[in-house]
């Protein structure tokens, strides 16, 4: 162990109440001799957060923050991200990535309000989350001190963590003591992720029992379910005609999608720190949202606006994955994306069936760019002069013809 450090007076700890952060709480008290303030965020992880308050009190924590952030999470982070149709490396819907800036933001706010001079988190030195937490914190509180115990201590195995917990009287869940799940999990209202343990072999097929919120497509209902989503400025405001808050929208779509086996993903991704990592994800509501959002944009956005958004999307997704939510470039891109959504109004109908999401209809009374009088294959009564296409094609073929003639001369 390092010698006791006196440079920190008060630290805000992102605290779940689990083994890692409970050990960190005690370790901070012992190693830094500082007051620890705990912050526990309910972002829809599906677990009771009240026990975190009780465990923090056990170790003399006087300032304990347990907050329900589900609405803020979806309204201010998930929905803006989905306006961009963000996918990391073509597949990942960024469920873990998008939660970290919100937690960092609240940690900094609590630090300012309580006079704390440091923050601490339980992310390891190999992962992406350390980057996301700390980039977010530095962007909002440039001179904050960050304490990342996994980069400082020698408790680098589960056995050492358990021994430390036993020595200091830290309660340990029986499942955790016995090894628990053969992988690690992270959950919020957007998704559940699974990684590590048996999943570190990318050839290993996870057991069906791993998945928590989706049924297997094989066991999904034999009859499809139809749903209708209403959009206003690119955000879903109603499901099947029922007005809902952002968090309620996502929770409802999670339930519907999970019932039909929608939203499972198994991928090997490239972490920002340089290594490849295998992760499995369940994102039923997000999978539905992405499909539906592209559908409403298909009839309400100009062709070149859509193309520009698609060009920028991978960069936007990387910014979120790598932890740059509060960066000037992400904010600049967000302004462009949000401006494009002024006309993304209307409704989308979808059919969910055994893991698939199929768009069956889309409409917009006020903003549709689909003109049946021009698009029709029947008599358009002069709305479109087909003879114009000849000149259009010849002009676009000019460079191809010039190159072809040059090649012909060289033979």
Say whether 222 is catalytic: no
Report the C-alpha gap between 82 and 4 in whole angstroms: 45
Report the C-alpha gap between 88 and 317 in whole angstroms: 5
Report the C-alpha gap between 272 and 79 in whole angstroms: 24
What number of residues does the chain have?
A: 411
Among 336, 338, 334, 315, which residue's Cα sits nearest to residue 326?
334
Report the C-alpha gap between 130 and 151 in whole angstroms: 10
CA of 27: how far to CAs of 3, 117, 145, in Å?
Answer: 12, 17, 17
Say whether 302 is catalytic: no
Catalytic hit among 75, 184, 318, 367 = 184
Catalytic hit among 16, 22, 70, 100 = 100
Say whether 310 is catalytic: no
Catalytic hit among 20, 97, 347, 364 = 20
CA of 62: how far to CAs of 57, 172, 319, 403, in Å?
Answer: 7, 22, 37, 76
Report the C-alpha gap between 405 and 409 in whole angstroms: 6
Report the C-alpha gap between 44 and 70 in whole angstroms: 6
Whether 160 contacts 225, CB under 8 Å: no
Catalytic hit among 129, 132, 278, 347 = 129
Say whether 100 is catalytic: yes
Whether 340 contacts 301, CB under 8 Å: yes
Residue with tokens 């050990």: 23
CA atoms within 13 A on the CB side of 29: 15
- Residue 31 tokens read as 């190693």
Query: Parallel, antiparallel, or unpaired: how do β-strands 64-68 and 276-282 relate?
Result: unpaired
Please list the active-site residues: 20, 100, 129, 184
């Amino acid at each position: 162990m390092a010698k006791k450090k006196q440079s920190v007076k008060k630290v805000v700890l992102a605290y779940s109440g689990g083994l890692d952060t409970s050990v960190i709480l005690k370790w901070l008290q012992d190693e830094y001799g500082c007051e620890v303030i705990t912050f526990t965020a309910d972002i829809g992880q599906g677990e009771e957060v009240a026990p975190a308050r009780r465990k923090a009190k056990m170790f003399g924590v006087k300032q304990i923050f347990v907050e329900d952030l589900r609405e803020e999470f979806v309204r201010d982070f998930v929905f803006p991200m989905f306006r961009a149709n963000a996918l990391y490396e073509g597949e990942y819907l960024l469920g873990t990535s998008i939660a970290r800036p919100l937690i960092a933001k609240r940690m900094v706010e609590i630090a300012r309000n309580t006079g704390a001079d440091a923050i601490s988190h339980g992310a390891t030195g190999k992962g992406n989350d350390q980057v996301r937490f700390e980039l977010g914190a530095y962007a909002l509180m440039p001179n904050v001190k960050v304490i990342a115990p996994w980069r400082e201590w020698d408790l680098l195995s589960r056995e050492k963590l358990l021994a430390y917990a036993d020595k200091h009287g830290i309660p340990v869940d029986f499942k955790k003591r016995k090894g628990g799940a053969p992988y690690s999990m992270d959950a919020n209202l957007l998704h559940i992720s699974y990684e590590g343990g048996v999943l570190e072999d990318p050839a290993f097929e996870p057991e069906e029992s791993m998945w928590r919120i989706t049924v297997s497509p094989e066991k999904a209902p034999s009859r499809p379910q139809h749903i209708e989503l209403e959009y206003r400025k690119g955000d879903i405001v109603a499901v099947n005609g029922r007005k809902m808050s952002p968090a309620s929208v996502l929770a409802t779509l999670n339930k519907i999608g999970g019932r039909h086996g929608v939203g499972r993903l198994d991928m090997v991704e490239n972490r920002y720190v340089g290594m490849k990592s295998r992760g499995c994800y369940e994102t039923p509501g997000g999978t539905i949202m992405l499909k539906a959002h592209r559908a409403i944009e298909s009839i309400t956005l100009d062709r070149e606006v859509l193309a520009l958004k698609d060009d920028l999307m991978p960069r936007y997704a990387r910014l979120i994955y790598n932890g740059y939510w509060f960066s000037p470039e992400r904010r600049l891109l967000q302004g462009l994306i949000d401006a494009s959504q002024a006309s993304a109004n209307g409704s989308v109908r979808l059919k969910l069936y055994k893991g698939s999401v199929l768009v069956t209809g889309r409409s917009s009374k006020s903003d549709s760019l689909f003109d049946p009088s021009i698009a029709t294959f029947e008599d358009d009564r002069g709305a479109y002069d087909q003879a114009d296409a000849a000149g259009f094609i010849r002009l676009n073929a000019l460079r191809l013809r010039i190159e072809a003639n040059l090649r012909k001369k060289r033979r």
